[in-house]
Structure 1
Amino acid sequence: MITVDENTVRNTILFLLWAEFAWETYLSIRQFNKARTTTEVPAELKSVMDKEEFKKAQNYSLAKLKFGFFKDTHSIILTSAVIYYGILSSAWDYSESINPFKGEVTTSSIWLFIMSLCSSLIELPLTIYYTFVLEEQFGFNKQTAAFFVWDKIKAFFISQIITLMISSVVIVIIKNGGPYFFVWLWAVVCVISMILLTIYPAVIAPLFDKYTPLPEGKLRTEIENLASRLHFPLTQLYVVEGSKRSSHSNAYFYGLFKSKRIVLFDTLLAKDDGSGCKDDEIIAVLSHELGHWSHNHIIKNLIVMQINLFLLFAGFSIMFKYPPLYKALGFYRTQPVLVGLFVVLQYVMMPYNTLLSFLMTCLSRKFEFQADNFAVNLGNADPLERALLQLNKDNLGFPINDDLYSAWHHSHPPLLERIAVLRESTSKLK
């Protein structure tokens, strides 16, 4: 490995951070200008969106972009200060001084808790503004202050319990796994991730939202018939009370192997005010979701995720004992493996992570088109198009996007592109 001093390492990390910030800012400026200068409602949306609704969606998009500018600027300045002034090492020294057990595992747990707590408190004003000012202004926020506070407390402590347990196991494996510890680390993390994927929807998610079985009726019967026709192993069908947090809507399925559960947000169901989707539109949305299942998209994403983890851990095994990496952040006396893991995965591997994120966005778009085509082949093209238009209207989605911004950020194809492909696929079936 080429030898460089800690100043070079620190400056390289800061350069990578600011380069990514500059790129993201450039893309956001392009999108901001695109949204600001677009005034006409696209022809495809005129049946569901009038001038006033289009203007509201435009203002919502601009407000989120402005908030994003401020949040990203706040984040890069804060992160740069943490790196430059050695705040991570100062927090480690404090954690070590109050640790009654004097072991690296317990010191790491205290350090991680302190850093997470500080990060949450620093980000809290931004979260409050986004929820109670920006989302409130456009009619999406449904949370009370008490609900918000209790929700954040629960989320913080549950995440801490899970994170501290996993990080303790990770430290033990790294320190005792020998030269090929990264193989054992990868295997254990694979198992843990599969366990979390299994228990999160059934055990952890209900701690935050109320899940109730979808009542008997036409919609439930049609969903069950669809699942039966496709041999989808549906075991439960739930409605989640998402309206207590937000009026945004969604639907998804979860579960491994032969036990699948479908969840509908209550905001997805048709309302008297004209929001939400009709029964045939919900069936079309679920046809799309089941398209992901039919094409094994979940399994493919899991495989990519596990390969990525292996490569990240292998890269970490090469670099984590490099002293300048720790000295760059103020660690002159010790080289905590958890800090090394954080620095390597978060900063050193940043170019790789950025490239992978873009490639995953491209893959996700391909999967979305495949799922749409699956719904088309089931004869649900028209209700799926109506559902997409209705959901875009309900969520104040701004339908005009800068091509470069969209290609980099949108894991789902833009609305107008999806509609165009839907219509083209439909015409081929005729």
Structure 2
Amino acid sequence: MWAQLLDALWALPLEKRIFAAVLLFSWTVYLWETFLAQRQRRVYRTTTHVPKELGQIMDSETFEKSRLYQLDKSTFSFWSGLYSEAEGTIILLFGGIPYLWNFSGVFCRRAGFGPEYEITQSLMFLFLATLFSALTGLPWSLYNTFVIEEKHGFNQQTLGFFAKDALKKFIVTQCILLPVTSLLLYIIKIGGDYFFIYAWLFTLVVSLVLVTIYADYIAPLFDKFIPLPEGTLKEEIEVMAKNIDFPLTKVYVVEGSKRSSHSNAYFYGFFKNKRIVLFDTLLEDYSILNKDHQEETSIEPQNIGEGENPETKAKTKKQGCKNEEVLAVLGHELGHWKLGHTVKNIVISQVLSFCLTVLSRRFEFQADAFAKKLGKAKDLYSALIKLNKDNLGFPVSDWLFSMWHYSHPPLLERLQALQDSKQD
């Protein structure tokens, strides 16, 4: 079959051969990704009970919630992916790209820009293409946010917040994308025979600059960042950073709970100006969601039955980690810095994305091992379980799907690696 297909492809004229090869490659990649997704979807459907290895760390209710959440996400990904592939194919078959290019040229000429202004025409083409993509992707984004995420208790956005956020993202994207693209096109135009080297160096520099300024100038446009208040947690973070010579300058808490109840933590900055960002959903003591949950539960009368713990009944936390667990998570993240993973990822990302995924999984184990050396194995163990529960992560994965897609090893593998040296 494949031999006949290749023979038929080779018999076509050159331009049609290239066109058919592009379509064939696109659908081959799509079918491969779909095959992998269906393998993982089979895992979601058939694994209906907590594996015995997880019996002590995950209850059946959480496991079922996680399974249904991942199953819904998998179904959504299938249909959105099919739509995206079909849309791209239709655009190619019916000449959507040359039509949009010609339309951009007509628009530019009416605005007083002739054919010699190809960079201007390119920017108009890029603007219209991203606008089209944003509009066609909007229904899928709405469904994902207000149906999938809402159904499983993660969405915290109102429709007005979503609309304002989407418009802001589009404007900010254009403000970055159009100037950078114009400079890149100019470099290509004047670069001569070695334009590809200059273009690669330019994109590398732009990537580094964006990583540097993102948290200080771009992220605050969408979410509120406040310094972590003085207290035990901040002091312990500073001590841990000092012990490994991490040049920490500031620690922020970002109000991610206004957008979603998913949790995260990261650091950024170059050289001697490193900063740590903690999502408020990661912290028991700072999450708005926990405060709202406490207010709701405090309204109801507390009827404590026999054998029930009054403190547990009166003070229920919805999500987040204790200070010791937060420090363990940061110990893992700082391990990435101490072991040079950030720089290595930047280098590897310039070569091959699959290699980056494989290497990233190895880095995750190394960062976990680094947290062990800091004496955080026990707390990291419990923090990983809590974060998996809060984010409804499903702990069972098809091996091929996991190897191809997961930059982080599955929960069970990480827990097993930590188990041997978990502290008493």
Shorter-chain TM-score: what band? 0.7 to 0.9
- 1:408-427 matches, within 5 Å, as 408-424=404-420, 426=421
Q: Which residue of 1 aligns with 2:102?
A: 93
One-letter amino acid matched to 1:87: G
Does the alignment pair 1:385 with 2:381? yes
> Which of 358, 361, 386 is the matching residue for 1:362?
358
Number of equivalences? 379
In the TM superposition, what whole-angstrom CA distance separates every residue of 1:338-360 from its partner, at most 9, and x where no partner exists? xxxxxxxxxxxxxxxxxx32211
Identity of aligned residues (%): 50
Q: TM-score, normalised by structure 1?
A: 0.86
Shift of 1:149: 0.6
Shift of 1:48: 4.5
One-letter amino acid matched to 2:24: F
Shift of 1:414: 0.2
Distance in 1 between residues matched to 2:207 and 2:201, nearest whole Å: 10
> Which of 393, 398, 404 is the matching residue for 2:394?
398
One-letter amino acid matched to 2:46: T
Higher relative contact order (CA 8 A, sep 6+): 1
Shift of 1:47: 4.1
Does the alignment pair 1:246 with 2:260? yes
Does the alignment pair 1:200 with 2:196? no
Distance 1:244 1:274, change over 3 A: closer
> Which of 282, 300, 308 is the matching residue for 2:326?
282
In the TM superposition, what whole-angstrom CA distance separates every residue of 1:360-417 from its partner, at most 9, and x where no partner exists? 1101001111100000111111100100000000111111111111111100000000
Shift of 1:126: 0.2
Q: Which residue of 1 aligns with 2:308?
A: none
One-letter amino acid matched to 1:255: G
> Which of 215, 235, 244 is the matching residue for 2:249?
235
Q: Which residue of 2 aligns with 1:56?
A: 65
Does the alignment pair 1:175 with 2:189? yes
- 1:55-204 matches, within 5 Å, as 55-99=64-108, 100=111, 101-102=113-114, 103-204=117-218
One-letter amino acid matched to 2:69: Y
Q: Which residue of 1 aligns with 2:271?
A: 257
Contact 1:48 1:393 survives alignment (8 Å): no
In the TM superposition, what whole-angstrom CA distance separates every residue of 1:199-229 from its partner, at most 9, and x where no partner exists? 1111011000000011111111111111111
Larger radius of gyration: 2
Distance in 1 between residues matched to 2:375 and 2:185, nearest whole Å: 52
5+ residue gaps in structure 2? 1-9, 285-289, 291-315
Shift of 1:274: 4.1
Q: Which residue of 1 aligns with 2:303?
A: none
Q: Which residue of 2 aligns with 1:20?
A: 29
Shift of 1:128: 0.1
Q: RMSD of the TM alignment (CA)?
A: 1.6
Contact 1:284 1:384 survives alignment (8 Å): yes
Contact 1:48 1:390 survives alignment (8 Å): no
Q: TM-score, normalised by structure 2?
A: 0.87
Shift of 1:85: 1.1
One-letter amino acid matched to 1:18: W
List 4+ stretches of structure 1 deviating above 6 A: none
Please identify, of 265-274 and 89-98, the stretch whose mean Cα deviation from structure 2 is larger: 265-274
In the TM superposition, what whole-angstrom CA distance separates every residue of 1:150-205 from its partner, at most 9, and x where no partner exists? 11111101111111111111111111111111122222222222211111111011
Contact 2:348 2:355 survives alignment (8 Å): no
